[in-house]
Structure 1
Amino acid sequence: MILYHTDPDSPVVEIFVEGKITDRDLREAIERMRADLELNGKTRVLERIEHVTGIEPKALWTDLTLGVSLARKITRAAVVADAGWIHASMHLARFFTKAEVKAFHVNELDQARAWINA
């Protein structure tokens, strides 16, 4: 499941990922972000990733073919996660975006929000 949230007066998009990531959910989130970037210039992302149980293979391809081009338009990204492998993989982000990326643990959500809004 992917939940996508943005406030009209904020440059921050919040994305909550939990359970199994489906291609449909990912495509919907990508399209919403694309629209936000085009209309509002929103360029900061706070992504909470908790209790992920898997990702559909088709969603991986969608992320590579559609998501990477959007990642290049993001200026700052905070990733809040409960899994150590997600934190460890943050160094790979530099290959997909020029954004400043920082990882936080789930108990640091307030710090992540403060950082993304700074």
Structure 2
Amino acid sequence: MLKVTAEHPKFRYIEILIDGDINSESVTALLNLLQKRIDEWGEVNLLEEVRGIGKVELAVFWKELRFGLKNLNKVPRTAIVTDIHWVKNISNFLDPIVKMDIEVFTSKERDVARAWLAQSDLEESMYP
């Protein structure tokens, strides 16, 4: 399951929950929302709560790749909230490779992750 759980227009970030199988339809809906928010806000940050990952349809990878290439600098920060150790390891591996800033937080640090995303917007407005 992949679903949007909250939107924070003031701080330009969206919270999503990943728990189980991920199909093409749910990714398409998420990417359409992200594109809409990018068009409205100029960029969008993400808080991804990962509770579990099941089967992922192959089409998902292609859709995410196309979206990522199109919006390379439009998703500057992603906070990953998880207690799954291997997700943290993969995120740490990808952080220097991708153009976004990725930080991993435990489920107990969810509010810290939210503050980190909100802070990024405040820093930009303080230092144009």
Q: TM-score, normalised by structure 1?
A: 0.85
User: How far apart, CA to CA, are the structure 2 residues paired with 1:82 and 1:40?
Assistant: 30
Identity of aligned residues (%): 23
Alpha-carbon deviations, 1:49-100, whole Å to 9, x = none? 1122221122122222224433531122111123211100112143232x22
Q: Is 2:25 the counterpart of 1:24?
A: yes
User: How far apart, CA to CA, are the structure 2 residues paired with 1:40 and 1:114?
Assistant: 19
Q: TM-score, normalised by structure 2?
A: 0.79
The aligned residue for residue 2 of structure 1 is: 2
User: How far apart, CA to CA, are the structure 1 residues paired with 2:54 and 2:18?
Assistant: 10
User: How far apart, CA to CA, are the structure 2 residues paired with 1:62 and 1:26?
Assistant: 8
Compute the displacement of 1:32 (Å). 0.5
Instruction: Find runs of 4+ consecutive structure 1 residues off by over 6 angstroms.
Output: none
Q: Is 2:42 the counterpart of 1:45?
A: no
- Alignment RMSD: 1.8
User: How far apart, CA to CA, are the structure 2 residues paired with 1:56 and 1:8?
Assistant: 30
Report if the CA contact (8 A) 2:95-2:101 is conserved. no
User: How far apart, CA to CA, are the structure 1 residues paired with 2:108 and 2:72?
Assistant: 25
The aligned residue for residue 112 of structure 2 is: 111
User: How far apart, CA to CA, are the structure 2 residues paired with 1:26 and 1:71?
Assistant: 17
Specify the SS of the correspondent of 2:96: helix
Structure 2: unaligned runs, 5 residues or longer: 120-128
The aligned residue for residue 97 of structure 2 is: 95
Alpha-carbon deviations, 1:31-63, whole Å to 9, x = none? 110110011224221111112222112212222
